[in-house]
A = this chain, B = another copy of it.
Amino acid sequence: MKNEKSIAQLEVELSELKHKYMAKDISPLAPKNGFPKLPIIKGIRLASVAANIKYADRDDVMLMECAAGSSIAGVFTRSSTRSASVLDCQNKLVNRSDKTAAAIIVNSGNSNAFTGSHGEVSVQNICASISNEMNIPLNSIFSASTGVIGEKLPHEKIINKIEELNSKLSEHSLESAARAIMTTDTFPKGAYSSFSINGSNVNISGFAKGSGMIAPDMATMLVYIMTDVSIKRNILQNILTKLNEKTFNCITVDSDTSTSDSLMVIATGQSKTETIVDEFSDEALKFTEELNSVMLSLAKQVVRDGEGATKFLEVEVRGAVSDISAKTVALAIANSPLIKTAAAGEDPNWGRVVMGVGKSGEPADRDKISIWFGNILVAEQGWVASSYREDLGQNYMKNQELEIIVDLAIGDGSATVWTCDLTHQYIAINADYRS
């Protein structure tokens, strides 16, 4: 009897330890309702297949066809070691004609980054093969690859699947395309908006992948957003560049910037709206607002799938000397391993937030700083707030969604960034198993 009880106890202890320390199958921060039902976008067709690049038994290549007349804009990683695909996309975006159709091919499992001249050969061969199969000019074929860095991409595996991909293209394949580009993601990420401009319906559908190697420098992952709005390419690019700064460039998982980050927006122009030609027209502003909401939702979903994440953190900094200064302070806090581990440990350790402000290098007056956890005033005038009690902070930290607000009270600059906590599961994902 004694032995049986001991076994049960040991098994419970073992199971608790494993639950605490080992990687989870799906992020506890994943949206409760699963992948949203994205509206189809007229002029966009997609397909995905299993090419067995790295993962067995799952789709790992997706192809998107964009009808002739589509405006395409993009933002990409600024990494100096960016991949061959990223360089190729950047060149083509500048030169392509909107009059022809376009295609985007994406594979997961291999990033084709730091693969020397092989990388360029792979991109050229894949794009040429698609150009041939789909009868689309080469300079309108875009590509992206995500996965392991430094391994030669087996591009024949992709080329062998192009005919099949082309034959399977469908308006309805948004979710399967979103799944095909996942790597260490624990859930596919999608967002949409349906609204009207001057009485005409407009739709925006987007999906994203990203989980580790996420830091705010350009798109920091792969994101594809499709809309049927009609808009001039340069206007779309301006709006995208601006929105990117306050959405994807405001998230961080681990401060590490990927070599392959790409965000592309395709506007097919197949809704019944007039073409947007003025960035500041009422129509453009409405579209900008809705595009922003889709981008913000996707950006936050990437954080929610941050490797090992158990807490979602919003860090807001106000009262800085400028918006840029506020963002630097916010990112110093959001990237601090000590603040991220405090969140994981549900420790209301506001002293580490003070440290984060201090290390940012931005102007701050120690004795003017105020700090809130959610609605709880924690510190003011350079010290713990008289109204603050440790149990208030401890209760607050039990929430899954945490808000850290810092008022520097020396100016009007503000910024908000999003991140997740740093847990045993992050270590388990990145150190316990070879990637």
List A residues at the B interface (Cβ < 8 Å).
Answer: 3-4, 6-7, 10-11, 13-14, 17-18, 20-21, 77-82, 111, 113-119, 148-151, 212-213, 215, 217, 254-259, 335-338, 341-342, 344-345, 347, 349-352, 354-367, 369, 379, 381-384, 421-424, 426-428, 430-435
Residue of B nearest to A431 (CB): B345
A282 to B426, CA, bound (A): 52
Inter-chain contact A79/B382, CB cutoff 8 Å: no
Residue of B nearest to A433 (CB): B345
A355 to B118, CA, bound (A): 18
Taking CB atoms, residues of chain B closer than 8 Å to A20 are 21
A359 to B215, CA, bound (A): 9
Inter-chain contact A255/B335, CB cutoff 8 Å: yes
20 residue pairs bridging A and B, Cβ less than 8 Å apart: A3-B3, A10-B10, A80-B358, A81-B357, A81-B366, A81-B369, A114-B366, A149-B351, A149-B352, A150-B351, A150-B379, A213-B355, A217-B359, A255-B337, A259-B354, A341-B427, A341-B430, A345-B430, A349-B434, A424-B424
Taking CB atoms, residues of chain B closer than 8 Å to A435 are 347, 349
Distance in angstroms from A151 CB to nearest chain B CB is 8
Inter-chain contact A366/B256, CB cutoff 8 Å: no
Inter-chain contact B114/A351, CB cutoff 8 Å: yes
Partner of A338, one of B116, B364, B430: B430
Partner of A355, one of B256, B354, B432: B256
Residue of B nearest to A367 (CB): B116
Residue of B nearest to A432 (CB): B345
A352 to B366, CA, bound (A): 37
Q: In the complex where A256-B355, A431-B342 touch, is A383 in contact with B335 (Cβ < 8 A)?
A: no
A435 to B348, CA, bound (A): 10
A143 to B364, CA, bound (A): 24
Distance in angstroms from A309 CB to nearest chain B CB is 13
Q: In the complex where A14-B17, A350-B150 touch, is A427 in contact with B430 (Cβ < 8 A)?
A: no
Count chain B CB atoms within 10 A of each CB in A6, A79, A117, A361 and give the residue with the most: A79
Distance in angstroms from A153 CB to nearest chain B CB is 12
Inter-chain contact B213/A338, CB cutoff 8 Å: yes
